[in-house]
Amino acid sequence: MGAAAITALAFRDRHSDDAEPYETGPPAFPYLKLRVGTVKAFEADYQRNVGRALPRDRWPDQVQAQFLLSTDFFRFDADETRVIAYVGFYEPTITPSNNPLARFD
């Protein structure tokens, strides 16, 4: 078996047809894999709740934290290898019972 065939076999399972499609993260988190529509949903909720659009090139630090808290990132122990989903806009004054850092073990 040639080197190309071995390489093809090694990577075949990484890109299976049943893998969940994802998009890359926002400017601050380009290494994260996000469920399709996650960034768009957060940006829409941010604009609706805060009253202004987010800059495309760089998000302020507070917005970066708010984005991660609005996803299931911390619910799965900040696992950067899984596809992250948008849960809902995190803002304690709007959704006071939503605490993504809480543990109920």
The string of pLDDT tens digits covering residues 56-101 is 788 899 999 999 999 999 988 899 999 999 999 998 887 666 666 6
Residue 19: name the closest of 83, 97, 105 by CA: 83
User: Nearest 5°: CA angle at 77, between 89 and 11?
Assistant: 105
Distance (Å, rounded) from C-alpha 60 to C-alpha 50? 14
Name the burial class of residue 82, with classes exposed (0-12), middle (13-18) and buried (19+) by CB atoms within 10 angstroms of its CB: middle
Q: For 13-52, how does the pLDDT look when each residue is reduced to its tens digit (9 = 90+)?
A: 444 445 677 888 787 888 899 999 999 999 999 999 999 9
Return the bridge partners of 94, or none: none
Task: Give pTM, 2 decimals.
Answer: 0.72
Distance (Å, rounded) from C-alpha 7 to C-alpha 78? 31
